[in-house]
Structure 1
Amino acid sequence: MSRQNIVAALSIGSIALLMVGLQPILLGAMVDTRHASLQGVGIIAMSEIVALGIGVVLGDALLPIGRLRVITLLAALVISGLDVLTARLTGDTPLAAIRAAAGLGEGVLVWVATCVIVRSRAADRLAGIFLTVQTLAQAGVATVFARAVIAYGGWQGGFDMLGALALLPCVLLLRLPTTLKPLSHHASQPFAWSVTSAMPLLIAFVQMAALGSLWAYLEPIGQHAGLDAQAAQTAVSAVLFMQVVGGIVSAAAVRYVDNMLTLIVGAFVLALIPTGMLLLPSGHIASFIALCGVFGFAWLFLMPFHIGLALRLDRSGRVATLTPGVQLLGTAFGPLVSSLVVKGDDAGPVPFVTLGFAVGSIVVATAAQMLRRRSARVPGTLEKSNAH
């Protein structure tokens, strides 16, 4: 992959994921103008994120890797049209349906970016860079939207502008590779799922569910811990800042640290964060914000290791290509489970949900490590699992 190929892929993937960072602003404006209900906003947001993950999976299953440019063009045009159409709709059900359709297209663009990333020389490191770039892009565009676009054009103007940004991949696609080849000679053999090859996806899903379950209710959890509105905003800012730091550190470290060991340690860290929030006495604002900082760091730090582990256990790259979609599905599934334990305005039980997912990820990651060691002791077993 040339540098131009990589830059184009990272840019296309970041544009596809812009709406994830813009959801609080655009959907909040919908509620303020009564074009969507407060209850419906959660469904609208989740439908797009779930569709994003499904779009990545469907792209891997149905689309030819030799037609990336045509696929990118069609997906970008469809997304742009759906963004503009969103600005003309009202009501929870129509908005949820149209954003789910847009999410499928956005997932296809993420799949395009992932196809290029996993074929680069340092795919796991590039995954960390991709996560950092997309986070910075979301933060930057969200700031512009909040202070300029929505201030003058409302949420409708925001979606019109988002539709214009969605057309940028139509230009960037000229820098994508004209054709992609299988990652290795193993890819010429029929792909078959095994317990070993599925483990990276299961670890990614459970860990991202733990992170998503807490992030969706971080502000009310902070209020439950005694934070006022300003302190709650500071906690959110700490998470976003430490996400960027975590992505940068991960991009530098992922090539030198064992993937499985890191994910096991990360699972224990994910368990300690909600435990600390549950045990922390009310009013300890600095300690709560510190836990939020660790939470944000762990979020983007762990994600490249999911792809690194997938590439290590499956050299064909099939599992690694699916990993971003599974990460998104886990991020959406966590808040769904958390919503089942929330009563009224009380989000106090949510950390227990996060702790449950974290403990689950410890079990899954430890089991995966045991399977890998057992395979390594049996001559040829690991090679066969990688070939599959």
Structure 2
Amino acid sequence: MGNHLARQDHQPGNHAADGQDLPVPAAPQDRALSDALSAGRLAAALLLGAAGLLLFGAQPLLYAAYVHAGAIDAAGVGRLAATEIAMLSLGCAAGVAVLRRTPAWPVVVAGAALLAAGNLLSDSLPLFPARAVAGAGGGLLVALAAAAIARRRDVDRAAAAFLFLQAASQTALVQWVAWDAARAAAAPLQQALAFIGLLSVPLALLLPSRLGLPLAPAGDAAPRPSRAGHAALLVAGLFVGAVVGLWAYLSLWMESKALPASRIGTLLALSLAGQMAGALLAMVARRGRSSNRALAAGGGLLLAVAGLLWLGPAGPLGMALALLFGFAWMFATPALTGFLEEVDPARGSLPHAAAAQLLGAALIPTLVGALAQGLDGTMMAFATLVVASMMLLLLVRAASGRQRPGSSPS
């Protein structure tokens, strides 16, 4: 999810014919902050953000454990995911605002403390408030990665690197659970999330004293999203919300197919490995038309989901489909961010990408969980929304192309 949070901090219209960025003079404040953010400091911020988003890797296993323990029923999974992701979004927004005025280390300490408290106090607090506290803490840690990415000139590569770190850390967590089925219970998972959050606190020592997002130069108004930009934000929110829903219900759906816990752990690990591969390819791939990449990746994701639903998750084919699901998900995500720039060249919509995608991730699983019947029906509903997002992308691209010859879309 790191590329959602990135913002382009160079000006539009400075692209060479081959797609490479031309040098753009930076304001003194921006230049100083960009120079201060070395690769090591960027890595520290991205690791902190990955710790905050580790809950996404644990989500299928953790929510299944809650269902087995009777803490919630299957219909409540969507509401719980919405609560946690919404609080993550609010925590991220609050962290970004605070970082403009304070040093980075208080945000690190507060984020790790809330993340640990929400996970370790789950026996003392009701489930929904506990996960809300953990989500807010994770969001504060994600804000550090968001600010660091926005300070880099190579913002696309930094965002893809963040995706890779997320997938790698989540794969390690799932593999750790797969080695011992007893770890699939809620308590060990929550303890692991809390420990990793606290263990990340020393990384604050590697961050610059100030990590605030760059401000617009004096007298310049920040560009506002165009109509096409607003529509592209809807595409991104719809797609991400549907895919997050698929991921949140995946473990429960596989259990309904009578798969043993060890097999489910293997398939989740393969899917996370596919996410790493997709993020890595997005990081090194040559820049092309983002909408084409998003459509191709969306088609691959739909193929994976259709194959799992109709052919089942058993056997080598199930392993290949799980791998394809993760790969297509992480290859499509940065392409959707690029699509915002494609249809809104002034980049007015880019700063709102994180909010749109997290809002979709919070609302769509809740609505589908409340309205769909059965686990198969729930998975089909999410897949249908992925199709809808791809159709809307085509409509937005066509409308934007008709408006562009004389002027930028408005």
Partner Cα separation in structure 2 for residue 213 and residue 85 of structure 1: 22
Partner of 2:28: none
Residue by residue over 1:45-100, the C-alpha shift from the partner in whole angstroms, topping out at 9 and shown as x without a partner, is 4422221123334556xx16633634x52353254145236423436x73322331
Partner Cα separation in structure 2 for residue 132 and residue 333 of structure 1: 25
* Closer/same/farther in 2, CA of residues 141 and 325 from structure 1, 3 Å limit: farther
Partner of 1:21: 57
Q: Which has the higher helix share?
A: 1
* Closer/same/farther in 2, CA of residues 312 and 188 from structure 1, 3 Å limit: farther
Equivalent residue of 2:395, what SS? helix
Q: Note if 1:260 corresponds to 2:296.
A: no
C-alpha displacement of 1:163: 4.9
Partner of 1:90: 123
Instruction: Trace 1:28-107 onto structure 2 (pairs within 5 A).
Output: 36-37=71-72, 43-57=79-93, 63=97, 66-67=100-101, 69-70=103-104, 73-74=106-107, 76-81=109-114, 83-84=116-117, 86-90=119-123, 94-107=126-139
Partner Cα separation in structure 1 for residue 319 and residue 376 of structure 2: 17
- Which of 371, 375, 388 aligns to 2:403? It is 375
Partner Cα separation in structure 1 for residue 128 and residue 275 of structure 2: 28
C-alpha displacement of 1:226: 7.3
Tell me if the contact between 1:125 and 1:304 (Cα under 8 Å) persists in the aligned partners.
Answer: no
- Which of 391, 399, 403 aligns to 1:363? It is 391
State TM-score, norm by structure 2: 0.75
Q: Note if 1:244 corresponds to 2:272.
A: no
Partner Cα separation in structure 1 for residue 218 and residue 390 of structure 2: 30
Q: Note if 1:339 corresponds to 2:369.
A: yes
Q: Can you give the 5+ residue segments of structure 2 that lack an aligned partner in the other structure? A: 1-33
Q: Note if 1:299 corresponds to 2:332.
A: no
C-alpha displacement of 1:30: 6.4
Partner Cα separation in structure 2 for residue 274 and residue 32 of structure 1: 25
Tell me if the contact between 2:175 and 2:265 (Cα under 8 Å) persists in the aligned partners.
Answer: no
Residue by residue over 1:114-172, the C-alpha shift from the partner in whole angstroms, topping out at 9 and shown as x without a partner, is 23213422212221111111221233355558879969x85674465245235345324
Partner Cα separation in structure 2 for residue 273 and residue 321 of structure 1: 31
Tell me if the contact between 1:341 and 1:349 (Cα under 8 Å) persists in the aligned partners.
Answer: no
Partner of 2:244: 212
Tell me if the contact between 1:235 and 1:289 (Cα under 8 Å) persists in the aligned partners.
Answer: yes
Letter in 2 for 1:287: L
Partner Cα separation in structure 2 for residue 249 and residue 80 of structure 1: 34
Note the aligned Cα RMSD (angstroms).
Answer: 3.8
Tell me if the contact between 1:16 and 1:106 (Cα under 8 Å) persists in the aligned partners.
Answer: yes
State TM-score, norm by structure 1: 0.78
Partner of 1:275: 306
Partner of 1:165: 199
* Closer/same/farther in 2, CA of residues 20 and 264 from structure 1, 3 Å limit: closer
C-alpha displacement of 1:249: 0.8
C-alpha displacement of 1:256: 1.9
* Closer/same/farther in 2, CA of residues 356 and 155 from structure 1, 3 Å limit: closer
Residue by residue over 1:287-318, the C-alpha shift from the partner in whole angstroms, topping out at 9 and shown as x without a partner, is 33322222111111111122223345556766
**Aligned sequence identity (%):** 26
Tell me if the contact between 1:123 and 1:308 (Cα under 8 Å) persists in the aligned partners.
Answer: no
Partner Cα separation in structure 2 for residue 176 and residue 357 of structure 1: 43
Partner of 1:189: 221
Partner of 1:320: 350
Equivalent residue of 1:216, what SS? helix
Letter in 2 for 1:67: R
Once structures 1 and 2 are overlaid, which stretch shifts more, 98-107 or 74-83? 74-83
Partner of 2:5: none
Partner Cα separation in structure 1 for residue 395 and residue 300 of structure 2: 18
Equivalent residue of 1:115, what SS? helix
Partner of 2:316: 286
